[in-house]
Structures are given as C-alpha cells and as structure tokens.
Copies of this chain bind each other. A is one copy, B any other.
Amino acid sequence: MARYVSEAVIRRLPGYYRHLRELEAAGVVSISSRDLGEQMHQTPSQIRQDINCFGGFGRQGYGYNVSELKERIGEILGLDQPHRMIILGAGSIGSAIVRYPTFPMEGFRTLAVFDSAPEKIGTELAGVPVYSVDALEDFLRRETVDIAVLCVPRDAAQATLDRLVAAGITAVWNFAPVDLVYPPDEVVVVNVHLSDTLQVLSYKMAHRGEA
C-alpha cells in the first residue's frame, strides 16, 4: 500500500464510489473483486490493484465489505470533508451547477455566485446570492472558500482565473473551453471541456465499426 497513485487510478475512484453506493442501497453486504469486476466491466486484477494503492481492506476468502469500502474510498476522495464553493458566472452553466441535486449531500456547498451583469447582481440563484465580481476579493477575504467554479465566457476565463489565484484560491473547476495558464504548484485545475466530449462522440460516430 501507499504506493504512487497514477492519474488513471484516481479517475476510476469516483466510478467505484458510485457503484458501491448503489450496491449498498441494494442491500449487498460484501462483494469479491471477481463480481465487482464483472459488474463494472473491469478485470478483478485491476480492481485489486487499484484498491491496494491505498491499503488492503479486503479479506481473503470473503471479499470486500461494501459499506466499509465505499466509506474508505469516500475518505480517499476527500468526501468526508465539507467543501465550500463559489461560482464565477451566473449564466446557464453556473445555474446548472448551483442546482445540481447531489452536490449538497456529497458535502459540496455553494456559498455565492459572482457575475458582472448589473441586472443579475443582488438576485438569487436557487437560494444562493449573486454578487458583483467587484466584490470577489472582499468576499474571499471574509469567507473560507475551497473551490472556485469557473463558468464565465471563454474570453473572460483567463483573467478571472488570474484574479482567483491572486486572491489565494487553490482549487478550480473549469467549464470554460480554454486551456488556462496557471502556476501548477499554487492551484489545482480540473477541466470540464464539454465541447471536447461532444467532439469525441462525433469522432466515434464518424468512425463507427472501424476498429
């Protein structure tokens, strides 16, 4: 255990978490890597390797306790800690994030939304106040914020990120379709390039049945 955890493993963890939660809800108490692999279309070997990056919580001859493994993966993902978020941009993507139903119960709480359009400032979005971006630095000085969600238009994204980093934000979830430039040791950025995934779909449609 405690070996180096590759990006590939990290990206599979949420899938395990989701599947285990469903098994738990279905009343399944224990599961073997063989059965879990079958259900998730992975090899049992891969599942055991992945889980053992973090230490063995399986039992020989028995498998894994579903609730315990789910709980542990949740901890590894940091879901046992609450996260305080702000959203930059009160457009349609920003609205969708504020309203995303499962975030509150996963510990992700949105404190405020920031926008530059005067008609939006002072309103609320699903109960969350919309402030002027001018008040951003002030707000960050007063409140503890863990994650900034970037939902501003493409052309505003880099400048907004620069402000966030200067104000001490260390984690950004970016929805703007740009490759942002930032100091990697000061801030973690995870991109959701929606257009990219749609283009991957387009590729697969165009090249169906080639492989």
Contact = CB atoms under 8 A, between A and B. Distances in A.
Interface of A: 4-5, 10-11, 13-15, 17-19, 40, 76-79, 81, 83, 91-93, 95-97, 99-103, 106, 108, 146-147, 153, 170-171, 173, 177-179, 188, 190, 192-208, 210-211
Contact of A205 (B91, B170, B178, B202): B170
A154 to B, nearest CB: 8
Taken together, the copies of this chain in the complex come to: 2
Contact of A99 (B92, B99, B197, B207): B92
A19 to B, nearest CB: 7
A199 B13 contact: yes
Output the residue of A79, A83, A108, A203 with the most chain B CB within 10 A.
A203
Contact of A204 (B15, B178, B190): B190
A177 B95 contact: no
Contacts of A14: 193, 195-196, 199-200
